[in-house]
């Protein structure tokens, strides 16, 4: 009986540790905009579609990498933007957008695509296509260095 209780305890402990694993703190576009007003930071916008296999691969492999998670959470407000969602509306710079119309306004035409905005909320670059964790992290570091000098 003691062994069973010990085993159950270890299973519960293990599942709670697993559940607490770090994740990217994804925000909606309007949440990121509001947070940026309080504490300016660059935005990384993951423009995706539900049918995009490479988008799902990014979610499963790249966005679960501890280095990628840590770097994005420390340096960006991370936004998920569904390029086909015309229901969810928000306001940006005095205009109303849907996720679909915003992705078009940002001139995104392939998926996945990562739009980087500076703290002034201006598009500065895009990183199109699937990237493995090491390559994605290298590209993010290079982008910040290029546009902020850090």
Question: What structural domains does the chain harbor?
Answer: 23-148 (3.40.30.10)
For the chain, what percentages of helix, strand and coil (3-state, to nearest 5) are there?
Answer: 45, 25, 30
Which tens digit of pLDDT belongs to each residue from 73-118? 999 999 999 999 999 999 999 999 999 999 999 999 999 999 999 9
Which tens digit of pLDDT belongs to each residue from 52-81? 999 999 999 999 999 999 999 999 999 999
Band of the pLDDT at 4, cuts 50, 70, 90? low
Q: What is the pTM of this model?
A: 0.83
CA distance 54 to 103: 17
Nearest to 116 by CA among 148, 138, 143: 143
Band of the pLDDT at 11, cuts 50, 70, 90? low
CA distance 31 to 52: 25
CA geometry: angle 44, 26, 96, nearest 5 deg: 70
Segment holding 88, helix H or strand E: none
DSSP annotation of 107? T
CA distance 125 to 102: 15
Band of the pLDDT at 2, cuts 50, 70, 90? low
């Amino acid at each position: 009986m003691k062994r069973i209780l010990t085993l159950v305890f270890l299973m519960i402990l293990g599942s709670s540790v697993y559940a607490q694993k770090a994740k990217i703190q994804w925000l909606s576009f309007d949440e990121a905009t509001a947070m940026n007003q309080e504490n300016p930071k660059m935005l990384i916008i993951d423009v995706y579609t539900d049918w995009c296999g490479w988008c799902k691969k990014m979610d499963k492999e790249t966005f679960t990498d501890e280095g990628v998670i840590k770097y994005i959470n420390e340096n960006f407000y991370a936004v998920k933007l569904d390029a086909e969602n015309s229901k969810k509306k928000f306001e940006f710079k005095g205009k109303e957008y849907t996720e679909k119309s915003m992705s078009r306004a940002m001139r995104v035409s392939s998926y996945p695509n990562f739009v980087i905005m500076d703290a002034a909320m201006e598009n500065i670059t895009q990183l199109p296509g699937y990237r493995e964790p090491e390559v994605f992290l290298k590209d993010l570091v290079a982008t910040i260095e290029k546009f902020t000098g850090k």
